[in-house]
Each structure stands twice: as structure tokens, then as C-alpha cells.
A and B are shown apart, each in its own frame.
Chain A
């Protein structure tokens, strides 16, 4: 509506301007370099454009040129409203070449009506399906929250970036640059730590912090803040960061040491290969402004948990400006960011619950990025759609069909193998993922170091039947297959499995439950057969084992247990020699492959639909978008 109104206003201005413009004598000669001009009575931008540039429609060139010059030259006046210039203002009339450049830059976009408003070219509008779940890095586990936290907080270290992946689903339409950059998860570089190193015995890690890094509060980030951020989580005794730090061998606040303002140390009891991965986690290892957080501490809330759920005290490339629960989150560029100010000055997250609406908004250009677009729209509706691209990267995610390994008949490995051979893998990838995924090779997905192909299962009904016969279950049995509400892909998979397993006399009853019920039953290990998926944020096999396959793993929903796998995992975490790690973790994967605790259905890609002009995307294994590298 606004656009329309502004357009109309400009049109009227143009018409009015044309009358005196036409009566003018021959236009004065145009200077190649451009010139200043003082606004006279009855001057309009379009009138000047006609007079000096020979084209009434070239007025934006004058506006842009003037505003550009006004940044450095105090004599020139900034034009805030396209239709308001005052007598006596000095504007800049660009030369022909420059004018053309500026017009190209303008690309038909109407300037914002108010100077205080962001330029659409510098604003990123993202549509996400659901509510956001708070901003405490120590406890955040929800994808959207994780994504925001990694953009608002900095960590000690981060992954290097490399090129070469083919990330565009429709290369022909990508138009601009190819999205082929992704995180190299085998190489780290300093983030808040300018340099870092480990002692020869692998026990003492020293991080030399960058000087002069400021929090959004203005406080300088020092080693005390780093220590506080980790100690807070350790003292809380709960939260995902606490669990992850324990994987990295940090369980006691005494292990985190402030040497001086810019030197931070972690002292381990034994070497740990997960440490850097954990410290690089955008979702949880962010460094908090300890002074601000401590000011919010109350006797009831010694770690300011409530306050941190909807406040942000980071040093990241963006600063939170506005949070309206369930509606939108707005953050603005941190102009003093140590890596340099981000190109996109404003990022707006809009909650748009309906996938159809998100799709329509994207097609229309009202938003720049749409999350959670169904596979059929990614491959059909968006195929050939103008101005839209889809990035699709193989992610370290795995979708599984699991059974409780301790409950009959699933305690028999033959039954688990039979179920595994009964899965129509290709049909699932084609019909559920619309081809946007790969067959899974085992417990560890693509992009994870030391991945070993141990999944022997293919779609083989004869073998499945034979295995069931061996297990004495030729006549089949009853199964309740549990999955979560609001997950259309799991629902489709469940229906496929139901139809397929009927061929073996296995009578599958589908049970769709709410996420809350799912979480409770998963925690109590009372889901007997179900569908689940996992994505290791740190793409390391020991991380996968620690969360999903060792006996005590919190997400070992399939109640799998093999002491040798536990032992091998523990050995790999502390082993410095890569060859030995490969041997240990390889053996663990082989064992898991033989015992088939779950059927690995597929590795779905990470798909993101965005406007063509959003450039610079880099894929990270945690799947969160790094906003500061994007530009339009």
C-alpha cells in the first residue's frame, strides 16, 4: 500500500514538474564529473533530472548521489523524502556515467518514505513457522532460538569455511553467485580468541582473546566473561551446555581459569577431541556479558535464567532491537563488530505459521528467506519460479525408524534386521523427501569425520521374510508406531512403513502424539517403535555416540547398549592419534551396524528457500544461517 502511495505521489510530482520543465530553454551542458546545485523555488528532483540528466525518471540518481556525498561533505543536504527538497539546499547532480550506475543500483526499488526506516536493500526478512523459545545460550535447544543466539553471541573459536559444495537446487536460476560455501568442520580458527593453543600433554588449552571486543552494553569482553559464561552453566547443573561441556571434559568451574584480562585457560584431566567442537557451538557456547547478567541475579534466580530468556547480552554481529513474542524479532547490525559491520543492517524474523503463506510471501518477494517449505513445493512450485532460489545442502541429519532394543520381539537382532530390510528406502527418499536426501550409511551421517559405511540394509523383502522366519515370527506381530504431531514427513514415512510391513503380517497401528507427550515418553523410554531424527551440531562421531548410542546417552531412545561401544567412544574422545581414532570409532560403527539398533532411513538435506538476490550463504552443520555474511 505504501509503495503504491509513494509511487502515486511521485507521479503527481512528476506531472507538476513537467509543466515548467517543458517551458525551459535548452538544457545547460551536462558536466561529465557532476556538479553541485542549489535548490531554487519550484524545483523538484524530477525537474532537475530532466534538466541535467535529460530524463525525468532519473531523479533517484540525484537523490542517491546527494545522500552519498552528504555522508562526507557537510555542505550537501541529505534528502530524506524523495518529494521534499527545500529552497537553498545543496544537492549533487551526478555525471551521466555515475547517474546510470546509481539508477542501476536503484533497480526500481522505491526509497523508504522516512529517513529513519531501513533501506529494503539492507534489510533481511525471514519467515519462520513457530514461536521462539528464549535466548539463554546455556539452555537453548530449539532451532530458531539457536540460530538467533549464534548471530547475537560470539564464541571462542569457529570453523573455517571452504568452497566447492553444490548447494543450489536449480543452478540455472541462481542468477547471482553460486552458493557453494560451507563450513570445513575439520579446521578451526580463532573467533573471540585471536590465537589459541594446547600444551604438549594436551591438557591445558590457552586462549588469547582479541582486545577491544565490545559487548552491546559497551563493556569490553575479557577472560572473566568467558569464565563466567562457562561457570554459570556448570553451576546451574542443568541445561544442554552443561551436558556438552561434560562431553568436552569440563565438569568443574575450577577447570576454567582467568590468567589475565585477555588470557583464558581450560585445564583438562585428559585430552579431549570434542573440546574445540563444543567451544565453537553457535547455539550454546556464546560468551555472555558477565557484568550485565550478574546485575540481574536475584536470590530466587541465581543465574538470571528468567531474565536471559528474553534478553540478549552478546558481542555478535547483530544486536537485538525488538522482541515481540509470537510476532517478530528484529535485530540490527552491530556497527562496531570486530569483523567489520555486517552488510545487511537489519534482520527481521516474522512468525508466519502457515507454510502456504510463507511460500506465497516468498514468491511475491515480500520476504527474503522462508523456512520449512514442504519438499513438494521446493521441487515443484519453486522450480522455475522467478526470483527465487533453493539452497539444498547434504546435512549431518539422520532419520531413523527405531524400536526399543530391550522389548520383545525387538530384543532379537534378527527382527531388527528384518525390519531394516523391509524398508523401501528409495521410495521413501523419492516420496517423502522428494529426492532431497541420500540413503544413510550408518549411525554417522555425511559431513561427519570418520564416517564409516556400516549400513548393510537395502530394500530386500526376501531377506526380511527369511529373517522373520528365523526369528520364528513368520506370521507377523502387532506394532504401534509412534511419531510426533506437526511432522508431515514423519507421518508420510509412517504410512509407507505401515503399508510395507503389512506384507509380512506385521500389523502396524499408527500413533500420532503431541510433542510434549513424546518428550515425556522418550525420556521414560516407553516408546516401543517410532520415528525420530537427529542432527549432531558438532559433526564428530563421538558426539553422535555420546548423544544417541552409548548406554547412558540421553537421547538413546532405542535403549541400545553395548559396553564395547561405550568403551570405544570414551577411548576415541581422548585419543590424540587420528589413525587410532579412526580405528576405535570405526570399530564402534561396525558393531552398531551389526547390531542394528535402528533402521537408518535416510539423510535429509537442509533446504532453504530464498530470494535470488540473497547472496553469500554459507552452510554450517548446525544449519543456522550466518546473517553477517549475507548481502543483497
Chain B
């Protein structure tokens, strides 16, 4: 019950946060040099045409008034019209978010499978070969830029070995995508039992997911390792060991649970970033998710598009932070709300 009250409180706090975010974003895009009207009318337009379109779009009004109109529209569920895709921003997000969720989730799963065990083992067996590998992986993962690792993976697995499909979209061009239910191709193909589409989608997502996972693996491995090492040196672990508890129990039951707390926070933050748009990964692999959308919106100075993306990312972070806090309460009995 107390948890429910807490969640409600947190959710109520979201509203001023989002209004603040929307205001800052609204102001910032308008501070950028250039005006989207010139994009919309194209390079050949005359002065009169430009003035006409400015009036049509309301850009001739004072900025505070524009903001109030925008806010009013957003509160009515209208995020505006993205002229660079010629459709409402809400539709754009609906079409693109599922792919990004898929990509971010798969790479998070890869990260957790690789990074947490690697971090734990390297903390427990410090100085061993596993530890050395883990440290190399961490450094490489964190420091290798994604556009580089992505291109390397493409070169290796698509161009040289021909194992991976062409880095072009989320599914093979000649395979009919499954009927849209969730928008996530993997889920949709499972729902419709279309194994061919499922296989194709998986094979298209593996390389981008690994690319996106590499830096996350780096930081999570490091985080797990240091946090685990710290806990292993704490008094209660020594006490437990002194009481003669088996080492396995001490490590995996007592130490790991506490060591994971900061890791959970980190995972939350990284997942938020991945969802907010893995711009480079999506560009390199020709995926149409939120990353390429935010890039397109910014490059085309599509006010509505940029504002929509920022608002969405803000909401995602709020939700993730809330989930992280709730997870804390579950993992750590000392924390209650």
C-alpha cells in the first residue's frame, strides 16, 4: 500500500517535470539558427511565399503564444505535424518506437548475460585470466566508438563472411512483415507464427544489438566488478565467511545482492539512453527507429519532431527511474517507501 502511495506521488511529480522539459526544449529548438519554413518551402521560394507559409504555421506569432498553443495541443494528445515525414509526430513515434524498444531490449539482455557474470567472476577471482579478459573487454567496450565497431561487424559478418543479412532495415526486403500488432517485428512474427519473418528479424537485429551492447557491457562489467569487490571486503562478508558459510553461498546469496544495487541504477540509465535513440547504430544499420528519427528531425529542424522525441525520452527516463527505485526496494530490504 505504501508503495502504491509512493508510486502515485512519483507519477504526480512527473507532470511538472514534463512541462519543464517541454518548455526548455521548445525554447532551445527556437534558439537554433535557421527556420524550418525555409526547408518547407524549398530553396526556390519567393519572399511572399515564405511569409505566407510562416503565417500558415503560426511562426509569425510571439514565441510565448506559440508555446501555449503547443502545450494546449500536447495536453490534447496532439504532438504536432512532422513536416519532414509528412505525418503527425505521434504516428511517427508509433511506427518507430517499437523497433527501438526491441533493439534496446535485446542489447540489454546481451549485456546482462555477458557483463554481470563476467564482473562477478573477475571480482571473485581477481588477477585470474577471466579478470584480465574482463578488464580488456571493459576498456575496449567503453572506448570503441559505435560507428567503428558497427562498421567492423558489418565488414566482418556481412561483407567477408556473408553470415549476416544486409545492414538495411529490420527484416529481409523480400519477406512480408507480419501483421502489425505490437509493432515489434519479433513479437508480431511470434504472434502470427511466422517463423521465416522471425528468423529474418532476429538475424537483422543481432549485429546492431551487439554494437549497442558493447559499451554497455564495458560499463556494467566494470561496475559489477568494483561493486562486488567492495562488498567482498566488507565486514558482513568476512563475518559470514568466519561463521563457516560455504563460499558459494556467501558470494551468490549475500554479496551479490548488495553488489547489484549500483548496477541496477546503471542498467536503468543505460537502457534509457538506448531507448532514447541509438542514433549511430540505427544510421549504420539502416534501421528506422527513434535514433534515426531524432537525427532526421534535428537535421531538418523539424520543431514538432524534436519536441516530440525529447518529451518521449523524458517520459522514458521518468518511468525507468521509477522502476529502478522500485527494484531497489525489492532487492534491498533496508529500503522501503
Query: Chain A residues in contact with chain B, CB under 8 A?
Result: 1-2, 5, 112-114, 116-118, 120, 123, 125, 127, 130-131, 133-134, 139-142, 237-240, 243, 306, 309-310, 324-328, 348, 350-354, 356-357, 360-361, 363-364, 366-367, 486, 513-520, 522-523, 547, 554-555
Give CA–CA (A142, B84) in the complex, Å: 11
Q: Which residue of A lies closest to B197 (CB)?
A: A2
Additional pairs, 11, CB under 8 Å, beyond known A356-B151, A516-B33, A519-B38: A1-B165, A1-B203, A118-B174, A127-B286, A131-B300, A243-B45, A326-B96, A352-B167, A516-B39, A523-B38, A554-B43
Task: Give every chain A residue within 8 A of B41 (Cβ-Cβ).
Answer: 139, 238
A276 to B291, CA, bound (A): 44
Task: Considering the complex, give the chain A residue whose CB is closest to the CB of B37.
Answer: A520
A240 to B50, CA, bound (A): 12
Q: Chain A's nearest CB lies how many Å from the CB of B144?
A: 16
Query: What are 13 of the A-B contact pairs (CB < 8 Å)?
Result: A1-B203, A2-B200, A5-B199, A117-B175, A123-B174, A127-B168, A127-B286, A243-B44, A328-B169, A351-B286, A364-B158, A520-B34, A554-B43
Give CA–CA (A306, B43) in the complex, Å: 19
Is the CB–CB distance between B176 and A116 below 8 Å?
A: yes
Once bound together, how far apart are the Cα atoms of A166 and B263, in whole Å? 63
Q: Would you list which residues of chain B between 21 and 47 have a CB under 8 Å from chain A?
A: 32-36, 38-39, 41-47
- B47 in contact with A515 (CB, 8 Å): no
Taking CB atoms, residues of chain B closer than 8 Å to A364 are 158-159, 162, 166
The answer to whether A2 touches B172, judged by C-beta atoms less than 8 angstroms apart, is: yes
Q: Is B17 an interface residue (CB 8 A)?
A: no
Q: Which residues does chain B contribute within 8 Å of A118, judged by CB atoms? A: 174
Cβ-closest chain B residue relative to A485: B299
B174 neighbours in A (Cβ, 8 Å):
2, 112, 117-118, 120, 123
Chain-A contact segment, one of B63-71, B85-93, B230-238: B85-93
Pairwise interchain contact A519-B159, C-beta atoms closer than 8 A = no
- The 0/1 profile, CB within 8 Å of A marked 1, for residues 111-136 of chain B is 00000000000000000000000000
B301 touches A131 (CB 8 A): no
* B84 contact set on A, CB distance < 8 A: 131, 133
A367 near B293 with CB under 8 A, answer no
Which of B39, B44, B173, B301 is close to A348, meaning CB atoms less than 8 Å apart? B173
Residues of B within 8 A of A141 (CB): 42-44
Taking a contact as CB atoms under 8 Å apart, the answer to whether B167 and A360 are in contact is: yes
Cβ contact within 8 Å between B167 and A309: no
Contact A2 B34 (CB under 8 A): no
> Among the interface residues A243, A486, A520, A547, which one has the most CB atoms of the partner chain B within 10 A?
A520
Least CB distance from B288 to A in Å reads: 4
Given contacts A127-B168, A238-B45, A554-B44, contact A2 B296 (CB under 8 A): no
B269 within 8 A of A: no
Q: In the complex, A407→B323 CA distance in Å? A: 60
Q: Separation in Å of the A559 CB from the closest CB of chain B?
A: 14
Chain B hits for A113, CB < 8 A:
175, 196
In the complex, which residues 292-308 of chain B have their Cβ closer than 8 Å to any Cβ of chain A?
A: 292-293, 295-296, 299-301
Give the distance in Å from the alpha carbon of A523 to the alpha carbon of B42 in the complex. Answer: 11
Instruction: State whether the Cβ of B316 lies closer than 8 Å to any Cβ in chain A.
Output: no
Q: Is B95 an interface residue (CB 8 A)?
A: yes
How far apart are the CA atoms of A516 and B301 in the complex, in Å?
7
Chain B, residues 83-110, CB within 8 Å of chain A (1/0): the string is 0111100001001100000000000000
Kindly state the separation between the CA atoms of A515 and B301 in the bound complex, as whole angstroms: 9
Partner of A310, one of B39, B86, B286, B299: B86
- A1 contacts B35, CB within 8 Å? no
For A361, the chain B residues whose CB sits under 8 A away are: 166-168
Name the residue of chain A whose CB is nearest to the CB of B52.
A238
Contact B92 A325 (CB under 8 A): yes
Known: A515-B299, A516-B36, A519-B38. A360 touches B87 (CB 8 A): no
Query: Which of A5, A133, A140, A513 counts the most B-chain CB atoms under 10 A from its CB?
Result: A133
- B200:A1 contact, CB within 8 angstroms: yes
Q: Which of A123, A140, A357, A554 has the most CB of B within 10 A?
A: A357
Q: Are A354 and B200 in contact, CB atoms less than 8 angstroms apart? A: no
Which residues of the other chain, A, contact B158 by a CB distance below 8 angstroms? 360, 364
Decide: B168 and A350 in contact? CB cutoff 8 A. yes
Query: Which A residues are CB-close (under 8 A) to B314?
Result: none
> A515 and B39: CB pair below 8 A?
yes
Distance in angstroms between the alpha carbons of A520 and B37 in the assembled complex: 8
**Complexed CA–CA distance, A367 and B172 (Å):** 12
A2 to B172, CA, bound (A): 8
Which of B52, B283, B286 has the largest number of chain A CB atoms within 10 A?
B286
CB pair B166 A366 closer than 8 Å: yes
For the complex of A and B, 4 pairs with smallest distance between CB atoms: A516-B34, A141-B42, A519-B38, A517-B34
* Cα(A116)–Cα(B43), bound, Å: 42
User: Shortest distance in angstroms between B166's beta carbon and chain A's nearest beta carbon?
Assistant: 4
- A519, B286: Cβ atoms closer than 8 Å: no
Q: A327-B288, A516-B34 are in contact. Are A2 and B175 (CB under 8 A)?
A: yes
Which residues on A sit within 8 Å (CB–CB) of B159? 360, 363-364
Which residues of B140-177 are within 8 A (CB) of A? Answer: 151, 154-155, 158-159, 162, 165-169, 172-176
What CA separation (Å) do A361 and B86 show in the bound complex? 28
Chain B residues near A522: list those with CB within 8 A: 43
Q: Are B168 and A352 in contact (CB under 8 A)?
A: yes
Nearest CB of A to B211, in Å: 12
- Could you tell me the distance between the alpha carbons of A363 and B203 in the complex, rounded to whole angstroms? 20
Bound: A40/B169 CA distance, A: 42
Closest chain B residue to A522, Cβ basis: B43
* Cβ–Cβ contact A353 & B166, under 8 A: no
Q: A1 CA to B162 CA in the complex, in Å?
A: 9
Residues from chain B with a CB closer than 8 A to the CB of A520 are 33-35, 38
* B206 CB to nearest chain A CB (Å): 10
Cβ–Cβ < 8 Å partners of B168 in chain A:
127, 350, 352, 357, 361, 366-367
A239 to B85, CA, bound (A): 18
Complex CA distance for A555 and B50, rounded to whole angstroms: 14
Complex: chain B residue closest to A552, CB-CB = B46
Q: Would you call B85 and A326 a contact (CB within 8 A)?
A: yes
In the bound assembly, the distance between CA atoms of A310 and B82 in angstroms comes to 12
| Cβ contacts B196-222/A at 8 Å (1 or 0 each) | 100110010000000000000000000
What residues of B have a CB within 8 angstroms of the CB of A519 in the complex? 34, 38-39, 43
**Please, how many angstroms separate the alpha-carbon atoms of A134 and B40 in the complex?**
10
Whether a CB of chain A sits under 8 angstroms from the CB of B332 is no
Instruction: Give bound CA distance, A38 to B87, whole Å.
Output: 54
Alpha-carbon distance between A237 and B48 when the two chains are bound, in angstroms: 9
Q: Is the CB of B52 within 8 A of A237?
A: yes
Centre residue among A141, A350, A516 by max chain B CB count within 10 A: A516
Complex Cα distance, B85 from A387, in Å, reads 35
Q: A514-B33, A519-B34 are in contact. Are A131 and B296 (CB under 8 A)?
A: yes
B271 at interface, CB cutoff 8 A: no
B60 at the interface (CB under 8 A from A): no
Bound-state CA distance A120–B159 (Å) is 20
Supposing A514-B299, A519-B43, A547-B44 touch, asked if A325 and B95 sit within 8 A by C-beta, the answer is yes
Cβ A360 vs Cβ B33 within 8 A? no
| Beta-carbon contact of B199 and A1 below 8 Å | yes
Most buried by B among A120, A131, A133, A142: A131
Cβ A309 vs Cβ B176 within 8 A: no
Task: State the Cβ distance, A8 to closest chain B Cβ, in Å.
Answer: 12
How far, in whole Å, are A306 and B44 apart by their CA atoms in the complex? 20
- A130 neighbours in B (Cβ, 8 Å): 296
**Using Cβ atoms and an 8 Å threshold, which residues of chain A touch B296?**
130-131, 326
Q: What are the residues of chain A within 8 A of B172 when measuring CB–CB?
A: 1-2
Q: Give the distance to chain B from A303, nearest Cβ to Cβ, in Å.
A: 12
A306 / chain B contacts, CB cutoff of 8 Å? 81, 86
> When the two chains form their complex, are residues A514 and B301 in contact, meaning their CB atoms are under 8 A apart?
yes
